[in-house]
Structure 1
Amino acid sequence: MRVNCVGAIIFDGSDRLLLVQRGHPPGMGSWSIPGGRLEPGETDEAGLRREVLEETGLRVRVGRLAGTVERPGPGGVTYVIRDYLATVAGGVARAGDDAADVRWCGRADLARLPLTEGLLESLTEWDALPRV
């Protein structure tokens, strides 16, 4: 079974990347970009805005598609994840929903945080890493 998901690549004014620490499986304890499963009939844009707001308290404007990855999930599920660039339109970053923590990260942070599998490689391939 394939499950459609979206993720948001968001930078702040200091060119740091917004990451959330997963509070539930899959990936509990690891750091990733905010996002999650689409609800039935939901567009990528609507789902991305909803997921980012739920996990981080931020409202975003959705930009272009950065890339797509497929990741195996429990019980033979395949997560099809479309990651989009997004910009903050309002709100204050705070952990919510299934996020245990949220933080703005520079390039050095990415090297020392336990990231979700394949995140660093995908961001590198898409030229979507923090510049600082």
Structure 2
Amino acid sequence: MVDHPPTHPRVGVGCLVWKDGQVLLIRRGKPPGYGEWSLPGGSQELGETLFEAAEREVREETGIIARARSILTAVDNIVRDADGTLRFHYTIVDVTADWVSGDPVPGDDALDARWAPLSECEQLVGWEPLKQVLRTAFRDRP
């Protein structure tokens, strides 16, 4: 049961942080996707650019300092209950970033954080739209 169903989509940002050919993953500590492996990210705040949001979320969730550099893609995350009631509606803009400093330590909304090559991403990540984003990112990485 949803206490307050959304009245409009929210803008979310996911951040693909690169270091040595691997990306940073977090295990989500709150819905949607509690317990699932994902990219660090969250809601964009009022007055914040997408790049600022991506860098802030990475720092809050993992302690990593990263510099956002480009927009990779956008995906919809629309979640409904079994009865069809809308629970979440996010438009997620996935941003690529480069690692600057730090080691991944889970914080804020993350239960765990780690670096992973594509083979591990394929095993850890369950949400198919994110798997597609990761495949594209690894394929197109310069």
Query: Does the 8 Å CA contact 1:17/1:129 hold for their aligned counterparts?
Result: no
Query: Which residue does 2:138 correspond to in 1?
Result: 129
Give per-residue Cα distances to partners, 1:60-85, cap 9 Å, x unaligned: 11111000111104635420111111
Aligned residue pairs total 128
CA distance, structure 2, for counterparts of residue 47 and residue 107 of structure 1: 24
Higher relative contact order (CA 8 A, sep 6+): 1
- Given candidates 102, 106, 115, the residue that maps to 2:126 is 115
Query: Which residue does 1:60 correspond to in 2?
Result: 66
- Given candidates 93, 100, 103, the residue that maps to 2:111 is 100
Computed over aligned residues only, the root mean square deviation of the Cα atoms, in angstroms, reads: 1.8
TM superposition shift of 1:109: 1.0
CA distance, structure 1, for counterparts of residue 31 and residue 88 of structure 2: 14
Query: Does the 8 Å CA contact 2:67/2:99 hold for their aligned counterparts?
Result: yes
Change (3 A) 1:77 1:25: closer
Question: Which stretches of structure 1, 4 residues or more, deviate above 4 A after TM superposition?
Answer: none
Gaps of 5+ in 1: none
TM superposition shift of 1:117: 4.0
Does 1:87 pair with 2:98? yes
TM superposition shift of 1:115: 2.8
TM superposition shift of 1:114: 4.0
Which structure is larger by alpha-carbon Rg, 1 or 2?
Answer: 2
Query: Which residue does 2:12 correspond to in 1?
Result: 5
TM-score, normalising length from structure 2? 0.82
Give per-residue Cα distances to partners, 1:12-44, cap 9 Å, x unaligned: 12x111100011111011101110001122211
Q: Give % identity.
A: 36
TM-score, normalising length from structure 1? 0.87
